[in-house]
Amino acid sequence: MLTSNNPRRVLLLALLVFGCGDAEPAEIQAKPSAPTLQNDPAVTPPTAATAQAEDDEDPAGRWRKAPKREVSSEEMEQLRAIGYLDGYEAAPDVTGITRYDKSQVFDGYNLYVSGHGPEATLIDMAGRVMHTWTFDFSTAFPEITEFHKDNGHQYWRRAYLYENGDLLAIHEGQGIVKLDKDSNLKWAAANGAHHHMDVMDDGRIYVLTRVLEKNHEGFNKPIWHDAVTIMGPDGSEEKRVSILRSMQNSDLEIVTSSIDTKGDLFHTNSIQVLDGQAAGLDPAFAKGNILISSRTTGLIMVLDPNTEKVIWAKSGSWKKQHDAFIIGPESMMLFDNNTREQKSSAVIVINPVTGAEQWAYRGKAGEKFFTQSCGANQRLDNGNTMIVESNFGRAFEVNAAGEIVWEFINPRRAGEDDILIATLFDVDRFPASFNVSWAASSP
């Protein structure tokens, strides 16, 4: 039973709230990999019995308390139109697709990863499961027997889908795997990959990596040493660019003065290899330079991988931000987590040079929108925006006017009465033209 006087439960919920946050490096603990939840392929939420073999066991992965939300009459009609609720009375705890305005969405397919386990799922716009990928961590990385307390070995933090059905997936802080469409392992790299990656047309992979260093020169306490690692299509490492050294080499005072003395120095959480479309604003945005987001410092930075030097940086009113991307010749989008005290997140689009706000979504009356950690955003081709409210297991698409036109609630549940919902790390929308003929259940 989940009760507040159970110290293991209190610890679990604390980890769920702070697990993506910046902190001093956690101790590494040796332990066997915890079993992942076995879920129905039709995305049926796990019952308390399947999620927990015994009443006092915590489920593997990353979870938090599931919010209770009343369903409006308008939403009920949308659910019935999709095909849900036939023969049932209204229930407050719906999962899957809960809103779907076919006339306004950017039509396509959705790939999601969550804290329930090392699995990626491709669904259509109505929530029908089209394909899944999964692979056991200990089989991919038999050499890793010590795990960080963020439990990154128990789930995938991010995934990248190729048009032939191959998939890249990041085990947070541990490494990256490449699978074929049938979940057969092509290669695995135990390089400390975390948070995010960008894949080039030539197959090279740019991924954020980190290593825990207990005796780094100039630091008297352990630090997480972040880097940009460039990999070949076969998973081989071609180059590793130290973000610490690139910041130390910078001529910008805002950069050099932001370097902390211990712990999670930067908590980098997004990476984008620039295509040059914004170079007219500033030469720093030239093709081949790399845009990164640092949660700890609050900086969005551009580093030159050739000189290993940060050449541009921007701070703003945002706090603990994620997912900073150039989305146009004069536009940058980012996820502003904001503060725990305000309990209000935002997705904003700004001119990266002037800082002028061009668009924002901060939620509306009766539409709570907040995730203290994690979070993701994607600008879609029709001008809509995909937003992932990670900690509450929710993703939604808004139009330019800020109206929600599609919504997905993570069906991965655990605990007694399904009290826990798995963190929804990312939902990535692919256009309807994306080839899915290889999928187990294709259109």
CA angle in degrees (0–180, nearest 5) for 369-373-379: 60
Res 313 pLDDT > 80: yes
Residue 194: partners with Cβ closer than 8 Å, 6 or more residues away = 152, 157, 170, 172, 173, 208, 209, 210
Residue 380: partners with Cβ closer than 8 Å, 6 or more residues away = 106, 386, 397, 429
Rounded to the nearest 10 degrees, how much is the dihedral formed by the CA atoms of 145, 150, 155, 159? -110
Q: Could you tell me the pTM of the whole model?
A: 0.84
Mean pLDDT of 76-94: 42
Which CATH fold topology does 7-431 show?
Answer: Neuraminidase (2.120.10)
Beta strands 331-336 and 346-350 are: antiparallel
Q: How far apart are CA 178 and CA 368, in angstroms?
A: 36
Summarize pLDDT for 177-218 with one digit per residue, the tens: 999 999 999 999 999 999 999 999 999 999 999 999 999 999
Total residues belonging to the chain: 443
Run of H or E residues at 29: strand 28-30
Distance of alpha carbon 385 from the chain centroid: 15
- 20 pLDDT band (50/70/90 cuts)? low
Summarize pLDDT for 290-312 with one digit per residue, the tens: 999 999 999 999 999 999 999 99
Please state the domain extents for the chain. 7-431
Are 293 and 196 in contact by the 8 Å Cβ rule? The answer is: no
| Cβ-count burial 141-163 (b if 16+ within 10 Å, e if not) | beebeebbebbbbbbbbbbbbee
pLDDT at 78: 53
Summarize pLDDT for 245-288 with one digit per residue, the tens: 999 999 999 999 999 999 999 999 999 999 999 999 999 999 99
Are 175 and 157 in contact by the 8 Å Cβ rule? The answer is: no
Q: How far apart are CA 89 and CA 410, in angstroms?
A: 21
Average pLDDT, the chain: 84
Beta strands 175-179 and 119-124 are: unpaired
Q: How far apart are CA 346 and CA 357, in angstroms?
A: 12
Rounded to the nearest 10 degrees, how much is the dihedral formed by the CA atoms of 217, 218, 220, 221? -80
Beta strands 185-189 and 175-179 are: antiparallel
pLDDT at 57: 58
